[in-house]
Chains A and B, each alone.
Chain A
Amino acid sequence: MTKDHKPVVPGWFTTSGEDFSLLGTRCTACGTVFFPRQETFCSNPACAGTEFAEVPLSRRGTVWSYTNAGYRPPAPFVSDPDAEWQPFTIIAVRLEAEGLIVLGQGAPGVGVDDLKVGVEVEIVPGVLYENDEHVYTTWNVRPVEVKA
């Protein structure tokens, strides 16, 4: 039996098709983009906007910085306490068109040695964890040049 796929947080990224992207919102009054999505008030202090349109974020960006998790993070991070700990990378990606930096876990197999500040990366679908009923999906980041 195949398990249901569920986004770790609904509405933060597309869940169908090949055009995977993060989903943010854009204030229709001032153009500021919000991720995570903001839908009732605008945090630009000079803007009274109250209407927001959903926007897909750029699929590619550049590495602003990167690190890894050498130790198992505490809950609410989900991991199997009996499995040997495998460090994952955390990558800060600069999205030029949106004028923001967003964090993501590196795709499986991406290590800190594969990264450098300024290199081009892409945002791709990934799996955060699974339990007996569901596979919880998320977004991952990987360098464009090591694409399989």
Chain B
Amino acid sequence: MSTDREIVVLGAGMHPWGKWGRNFVEYGVKAAQDALKDAGLAWQDIQFVAGADTIRNGYPGFVAGATFAQALGWTGVRISSSYAACASGSHAIASARAQILAGLCDVALVVGADAAPKGFFAPVGGDRPDDPDWVRFHVLGATNPAYFGLYARRRIDLYGASVEDFARVKVKNARNGLANPNARYRKAFTMEDVAASPIVCDPLRLMDICATSDGAAAVVLCSKEFAARHTTSPVRISAVSTVTPTFPSALIELPDIATDSSVAVAPHDLSFRASLAHAAYQEAGIGPEDLSLAEVYDLSTALELDWIEDLGICARGEAEKLLRDGATEITGRIPVNASGGLGSFGEAVPAQAIAQVCELTWQLRGEAGERQVSGATVGITANQGLFGHGSSIIVTR
């Protein structure tokens, strides 16, 4: 399972998720310092900084690479700043990986941090009928959870899923999050708690939908040669998939109010989400049967079930059965969101994809404490954001 395009995660660090009311830069610096310490390196050793941007914190957020480099103390280090909605963290990782694999640097720091507003994410101001993000809010009142509601309803009407299945995902992820010191919500939830929460977008209730959080995550990435001088048990990144959709995109996706037309060209066999994972498997030379665990983007509870199928862990319509059988528990055959997932964290957009890699790194090192997946050797991440962004990263040891 080793390819010559692998790089190594030498260090991982996070700032706990929450609503701390401070500047996102503070969170990012803390995560970066922890990742450096974990790697056994000094800030001055870093040759490249890849920042994942936040668009909710003004100019410093748009130039995250520079912002974190300045905060840690200018060293002349080269930088990049990436924005790719929920996949921003993965794009930053991809940027650092390209530098390392091209031989332009040996060791890089990747940082993403956010201080998020309360409530629904809303578009920036002004009257902009050419912006699909403006259109869906103004013309339809279609918030992000509305799209999650559409997907969840499909599972009920097509596959016989129930709202209890969705609640089961919340209960599982909340239980996992109890054992995660970086999670925002460290509280057990019952099926009754979920059922008692108000409907946000039918059939989804408030507790089916992830909140928005402050938080930060960082990784130190390096070449295998560099790693050999610092560790004897490297955790490797074997694939970074950031593919975009293939025309015609046949699934209604955020923030669009209509899909592409398939009149002239037939849709691809794989959905966009499935194609993200497919490209990752191809790059790593493995398949879903090789996975020890998965960290997927549970923006809603029902979406975790979609992802399980998109990752090829089971066939379409069978994820509820896996869930009910306990296969996706930490003790199950294929644990999903052992970290507690977005349900326990709330989304800190530019940090989230990096946090998924942090979790896999700790799991594969056997350092995940009470939420440790026994004998974990291969993990996959998956996420999707607005405007055709998404990512899937495979971590192996």
Contacts and interface: CB of A to CB of B under 8 A. Distances in A.
B258 A103 contact: yes
B153 A9 contact: no
A104 B248 CA distance: 21
A88 B201 CA distance: 10
Interface string B212-256: 000000000000000000000000000000000001101110000
Interface of B: 119-120, 122-123, 125, 127, 129, 132, 134-143, 146, 149-154, 157-158, 198-204, 247-248, 250-252, 257-265
Q: Is the interface of A mostly helix, strand, loop or mixed?
A: loop
Contacts of A8: 138-139
A142 to B, nearest CB: 15
Contacts of A66: 150, 153
A98 B263 contact: yes
Contacts, number: 142
A70 interface: yes
Given A70-B198, A70-B199, A99-B262, A104 B140 contact: yes
A43 B260 contact: yes
B200 A117 contact: no
A34 B261 contact: yes
Contacts of B139: 8-9, 128, 138
A30 B135 contact: no
A80 to B, nearest CB: 13
B141 A92 contact: no
A8 B141 CA distance: 13
A45 B135 CA distance: 25
Contacts of A103: 136, 140, 142, 252, 257-258
Contacts of B250: 101
A31 B263 contact: yes
Interface string A81-101: 000000110101000001111
A105 interface: yes
